[in-house]
Structure 1
Amino acid sequence: MSFRLAGCRPAVVNAVALVLALSTGAVLAQNNQAPAASKATAAAAAAIAKPAPAASSPAAVVPTAAPQDETAMLATKPGDATAGQAKAAACGACHGMDGNSSDAQYPKLAGQHEAYIAHQLENFKSGTRQNAIMLGMATPLSNQDMRDIGAYFASKQPLPGVADQALVELGQKLYRQGDTDRGIPACMACHGMDGRGNPGAMYPELTSQHAQYVEAKLKDFHDGVSWGKDAHAQIMPLIAKNLDPQDIAALASYVEGLHVADHSAAAASP
């Protein structure tokens, strides 16, 4: 891990169900007129509904309920970086063609985890995470498109950033130790010593991220903005509410100074 300072993502069962439905209807229709006939109908229905041997075979097993979202029925394969390069062309206008944005208001995506990028695109598409530009960009994307785009940017290496020397001491203390008296855990507990994050737990990589972008997001979290209703999405708002403006500025600057000397080798390590 390196640190740089400034200036220094079946037919049988269906038939049985139909018979049951028709038989039950007959029972209800005849209940008030002929109790005996109703009982006979119910008995007949019960006899018909006895499972046939074929019903126990795997081919006869059907889901109890169909998924509400048709896309959920389609298996999404791991992302394809080659396919993702073409799909990510439009992203380059803000995030840079290789994921290293030149405008600090837009986050660097180079080296970011595939699953994390895909998940955030899903959040933008659903409106869980509010951003008018990203809503328009994410809406036409399929789940596979999102994974492919994520794979493409994950294959890139973030350009090293720099940190303000005057903010390093406080930023390093908060990032590596936190402040237990104020309820601030160490950032490295989730994002790693070198800011590489944890793809399995969906904690993003922070390495070399623009300080301006990080500061803006920490301020949003401090003010109660969240990217979902689940427990995972509530982590940062709970932490950031305990940060003051000086803490936020120091952490943002420190994060920008974090970088991995050989990002591709680090990503391949266990």
Structure 2
Amino acid sequence: MRHLCLGFLFLLSAACHGQTNDAIVHGKALTSSCVACHGADGNGQISVFPKLAGQPHRYLLKQLDDIQAGKRPVPQMATLLDKYSAQDLSDIAAYFANQRTRIGQASADTLEQGEALYRFGNPDTAVPACASCHGPAGKGLNSAAFPALSGQFKAYTKTQLNDFKSGKRNNDTANMMQTIARKLSAEEIDAVSDYLQGLH
């Protein structure tokens, strides 16, 4: 009975987010080309590639759409998404969104600085708190397509912040991340990226 109830709650949760069990199962079947870089469950082992597990569905779908359309150039994914329909991409996003993120570990050396920046920002340079958009636990915000940051690899986060800062990455809504990243020092980018790796 307990397992039946848990299964029902899982299906209800997925349905509330527009993700049916059929979509999740179908999405999993389409992820064979994702495994090498992102792992079977979205928790890959290569730190230059993002963890996809637990990302909000809308965020994942936006990134897949942008990569497919060329709005977000990712050389490693060139042509990989060409064969997928809009429904396929939504189902892939549904599968990864329903996986559990594996949390890493932050370094004690930069923990205090990284946490302060994440929770309070930097008033001196008008950097807002990361938590204001990504949540106190770093789970992201599906309704606004803001990504989860909790447990993300330090190397990946650091690269993305530097790419936003330089303008190399520019598929953020209303240039929000570009504007913020330009105000961050190299030391701050390193500290907050490290902190997020262990955020739970």
Counterpart in the other structure of 1:254: 195
2:184 aligned residue: 243
- Are 2:57 and 1:114 aligned? yes
- How many Å apart are 1:78 and its aligned residue? 4.6
Deviation string 1:161-200 (CA, Å, 9 cap, x unpaired) is 1001000111011100001220100000000000001000
In the alignment, which of 28, 53, 74 is matched to residue 131 of structure 1? 74
Instruction: Choose the corresponding residue for 1:86, options 1, 6, 29.
Output: 29
Q: Is the 8 A contact 2:141 2:147 kept in 1?
A: yes
Q: Distance in 2 between matches of 1:161 and 1:256?
A: 5
SS in 2 for 1:137: coil
Q: Which runs of 5+ in 2 are unaligned?
A: 1-17
Residue in 1 aligned with 2:101?
158
Q: Is the 8 A contact 2:170 2:178 kept in 1?
A: no
Hey, what does 1:146 align to over in structure 2? 89
What CA distance in whole angstroms lies between the structure 2 residues aligned with 1:254 and 1:139?
35
**Residue 225 of structure 1 contacts residue 237 of structure 1 at CA under 8 Å; is this kept in 2?**
no
Pick the structure with greater CA Rg.
1
Partner Cα distance (1:249, 1:134) in 2: 26
Equivalent residue runs for 1:208-247 within 5 Å: 208-228=151-171, 232-247=173-188
Q: CA deviation at 1:233?
A: 4.7
Structure 1 runs not aligned, ≥5 long: 1-76, 260-270
Tell me which residue corresponds to 1:170.
113
The 2-side partners of 1:135 and 1:123 are apart by 12
- Matched residue pairs, number? 181
The runs of 4+ residues in structure 1 deviating greater than 2 Å are 225-228
Shift of 1:106: 0.6
- Aligned partner letter, 2:195: Y
Q: Please state whether the residue corresponding to 1:90 is helix, strand or coil.
A: coil
Which residue is 2:38 aligned to? 95
Overall identity of the aligned pairs, in %? 38
In the TM superposition, residue 133 of structure 1 has moved relative to its aligned partner by 2.2
Residue 131 of structure 1 deviates from its aligned partner by: 1.2
Alignment correspondent of 1:8: none
Q: What is the CA-CA distance between 1:226 and the residue it aligns to?
A: 3.3
Residues 36-55 of structure 1: pairs in structure 2 closer than 5 A: none
Could you state the TM-score of these two structures normalised by the residue count of structure 1?
A: 0.65
CA RMSD of aligned residues (A): 1.4
**1:40-73 CA distance string (max 9 Å, x none):** xxxxxxxxxxxxxxxxxxxxxxxxxxxxxxxxxx
How far, CA to CA, are the matches of 1:170 and 1:132 in structure 2? 33
Secondary structure at 1:89 match in 2: coil
Question: In structure 2, what residue type is equivalent to 1:234?
Answer: N
TM-score by length of 2: 0.87
Are the aligned partners of 1:224 and 1:241 in contact in 2 as well (CA < 8 Å)?
no
Secondary structure, counterpart of 2:40 in structure 1? coil
